[in-house]
Amino acid sequence: MKIIGTTLRDCVIVEPTIFEDHRGVFFEGFNLNEFNEKTGIHLLVKQMNCSQSKKGVLRGLHLQTGEYAQSKLVFVTKGEALDVVVDIRKDSPTFGKHLTVRLSAENRKRIFVPKGFAHGFVSLQDGTELNYLVDEYYNKAHDSGISYADPELNIDWEIDPENVILSEKDKNLPTFRQLISE
């Protein structure tokens, strides 16, 4: 497993070691001990979430607040997604900054999203399957988010806005400033 730092504090890309031969491919999708040792983070997975999305489906930017804040290890098992994270930790030197990374079944990259980040993705192919290993259980009362189209964040989702497919919830999320002023 290779750990690659990003421009956002505590947010890392995880690349598994891949063994390929005439039979196919083998790799460890995740090794908790190795991850904890290499990152200094002590992740304890409590739940796994899975989604399957049509091309153009945008989910996010989501987070859980307070004691139910979640760290996530996110990866794609089918298709491709543009994954986006935003640091909303007020004491962080990267507060208000975002990062985008392409995750696909082909590149097998994972992104570790620490507590205190908003997370979202847009499906770039029909049938994209995105999985999250999370360290806290979902709690509806602590569910929150930021509008994907927030002009202050100015995220390039690499998709024509007219082709974006959103849930009602995601259409009505607050802006970054509205969220952090609550």
Pairing, β 80-87 against β 12-15? unpaired
pLDDT of res. 181: 85
Whether 148 sits among the annotated catalytic residues: the reply is no
Whether 62 sits among the annotated catalytic residues: the reply is yes
Domain boundaries, the chain: 44-180
Q: Given the residues 22, 68, 119, 132, select the one marked as catalytic.
A: 132
Nearest Cα neighbor of 99 from 88, 109, 107, 87 is 87
pTM, two decimals, is 0.93
Q: What dotted CATH number matches 44-180?
A: 2.60.120.10
pLDDT of res. 178: 94
pLDDT tens over the chain, length 182 residues: 999 999 999 999 999 999 999 999 999 888 989 999 999 998 899 999 999 999 999 999 999 999 999 999 999 999 999 999 999 999 999 999 999 999 999 999 999 999 999 999 999 999 999 999 999 999 999 999 999 999 999 999 999 989 999 999 999 999 999 998 87
Task: Say if residues 113 and 49 touch (Cβ distance below 8 Å).
Answer: no
